[in-house]
């Protein structure tokens, strides 16, 4: 494991001193823009509270200019006396910014397209019009003493010379940071690093990473941006977001700590709770194989891994399950063995000798193969209750110890498999 972020691409201290990374979570804005997702206002408020309790620096609460219940939810969140900053999203339109100020937020995001394809085909305008709108909206926001993030939409496809001019315009108007948006998720970490390095070196601005996951590199690109000197990162819980989603909060934080060696000092033990709530509110269940908070992350079926983890969890765990709000668990199936079975039985205060467990294991494996899945605990208990006396009698009659029984059972299984193969051929 790396000791620090100096491995690979070099870590570049920002112009403001030592490395500091702050998360601006956009679950309530970009996360809700996931096709088909709508949060009720009470859900938005609950998510905001959970994010604050986790220790997030800033919450992007929504889009006030939408009005109605959206504006009301943002007002409520801004008035909750949270420890975090509350930011609202806007187009580069003065009236949008006024709507945000009316909500009582302490920060605004002013978003404007930066790529020529967006400027020409989405906005049907020219570069100078774009810069003028950014300037007007930023000046207005700073007159009202709010923190300003200017978002360069589709920055990853923007002409670099124009992107630098875009950033300088925002900075000269008083913007506090530039959000670099890889809107279509087209970058890799190497290109990301060079683009962010150039932006910071030339403009001296604070940069925020907003990365999408269309090619599965959102978290990696966010980390690359941090290595290049970015001090802010946009995330969403569970990686929600348009198309393939955004950089996942839980993945970025844990990767920074255990791959990059930089602890953001968040309450990560609340991650599973937060992820479950957002999954329920968004009607997007957490896949069992989901990194960091997936239910399978600390579940063992394979005997060699299970037995190794029982001896020393570090053999197959980079961090303990409690750190993200999960629990270690063992399940019985095709690849299970004696030690795993005995641990599972012990959970229910049941016992079996090594020899008895060996025989039961082979029966469990056969049942698992027949069902094409691991067994539920109740199925395992049914096997134990219905067959344990016969198993004990079989063990007594054989006179073999546990290791012999395992060998015999394995040989019987191999012979049975050979018969099946012969029958099919």
Per-residue pLDDT tens digits for 357-369: 999 999 999 999 9
Please report the pLDDT score of residue 306 as a whole number. 87
Domain assignments of the chain as residue spans, ordered by start: 22-282, 299-424
When pLDDT is cut at 50, 70 and 90, the band that residue 395 belongs to is: confident
Say if residue 5's pLDDT is above 60. no
Please report the pLDDT score of residue 4 as a whole number. 46
Distance CA 150, CA 148 (A): 6
Please report the pLDDT score of residue 394 as a whole number. 85
**Chain centroid to CA 365: how far?**
34
Please report the pLDDT score of residue 398 as a whole number. 78
Please report the pLDDT score of residue 425 as a whole number. 52
**Options 3.30.1330.10, 2.30.30.230, 3.20.20.70, 1.10.3720.10; CATH of 22-282:** 3.20.20.70
- The DSSP symbol for 62 reads E
Helix orientation angle between 271-282 and 41-54, rounded to the nearest 10 degrees: 160
215-259 pLDDT, tens per residue?
999 999 999 999 999 999 999 999 999 999 999 999 999 999 999
pTM over 0.85: yes
Say if residue 67's pLDDT is above 90. yes
Between vectors from CA 227 to CA 325 and to CA 84, what angle results, nearest 5°?
Answer: 50
Distance CA 228, CA 159 (A): 19
> Tokens in use for 126?
């020219």
Percentage of residues in the chain with pLDDT exceeding 70?
89
The pairing of strands 177-182 and 58-62 is unpaired
Q: Cβ–Cβ contacts within 10 Å for residue 314, how many?
A: 11
Distance CA 354, CA 345 (A): 12
Please report the pLDDT score of residue 1 as a whole number. 40
Residues 6+ apart with CB under 8 A from 413: 362, 365, 366
| End-to-end CA separation in angstroms for the chain | 48
309-340 pLDDT, tens per residue?
889 999 999 999 999 999 999 999 999 889 89
């Amino acid at each position: 494991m790396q000791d620090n972020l100096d491995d690979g691409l070099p870590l570049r201290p920002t112009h403001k001193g030592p490395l500091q990374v702050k998360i601006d979570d956009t679950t309530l804005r970009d996360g809700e823009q996931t096709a088909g997702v709508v949060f009720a206002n009470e859900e938005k408020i609950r998510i905001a509270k959970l994010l604050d309790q986790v220790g997030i620096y800033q919450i992007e609460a929504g889009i006030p200019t939408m009005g109605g219940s959206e504006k009301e939810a943002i007002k409520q969140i801004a008035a909750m006396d949270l420890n975090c900053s509350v930011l609202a999203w806007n187009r580069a339109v003065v009236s949008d910014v006024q709507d945000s100020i009316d909500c009582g937020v302490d920060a605004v995001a002013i978003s404007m397209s930066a790529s020529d394809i967006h400027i020409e085909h989405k906005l049907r305008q020219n570069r100078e019009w774009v810069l003028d709108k950014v300037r007007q909206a930023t000046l207005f926001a700073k007159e009202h003493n709010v923190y300003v993030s200017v978002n360069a939409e589709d920055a990853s496809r923007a002409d670099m010379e124009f992107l630098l001019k875009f950033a300088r315009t925002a900075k000269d108007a008083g913007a506090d940071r530039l959000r670099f948006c890889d809107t279509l998720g087209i970058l890799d970490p190497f290109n990301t690093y060079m683009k962010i390095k150039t932006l910071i070196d030339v403009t001296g601005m604070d940069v925020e990473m907003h990365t999408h996951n269309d090619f599965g590199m959102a978290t990696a690109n966010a980390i690359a941006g941090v290595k290049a000197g970015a001090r802010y990162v946009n995330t969403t819980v569970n990686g929600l977001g348009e198309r393939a989603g955004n950089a996942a909060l839980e993945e970025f934080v844990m990767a920074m700590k255990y791959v990059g060696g930089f602890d953001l000092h968040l309450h990560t033990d609340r991650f599973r709770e937060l992820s479950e709530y957002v999954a329920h509110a968004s009607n997007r269940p957490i896949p069992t194989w989901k990194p960091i908070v997936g239910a399978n992350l600390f579940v063992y079926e394979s005997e060699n891994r299970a037995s190794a983890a029982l001896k020393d969890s570090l053999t197959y765990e980079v961090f303990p399950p409690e750190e993200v709000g999960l629990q270690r668990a063992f399940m019985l199936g095709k690849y299970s063995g004696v030690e795993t079975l005995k641990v599972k039985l012990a959970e229910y205060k049941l016992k079996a000798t090594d020899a008895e467990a060996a025989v039961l294991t082979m029966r469990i494996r056969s049942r698992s193969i027949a069902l094409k899945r691991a067994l539920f605990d109740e199925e395992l208990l049914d096997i134990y209750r219905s067959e344990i006396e016969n198993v004990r009698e079989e063990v007594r009659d054989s006179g073999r110890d546990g290791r012999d029984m395992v060998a015999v059972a394995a040989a019987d299984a191999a012979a049975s498999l050979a018969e099946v193969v012969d029958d099919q051929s």
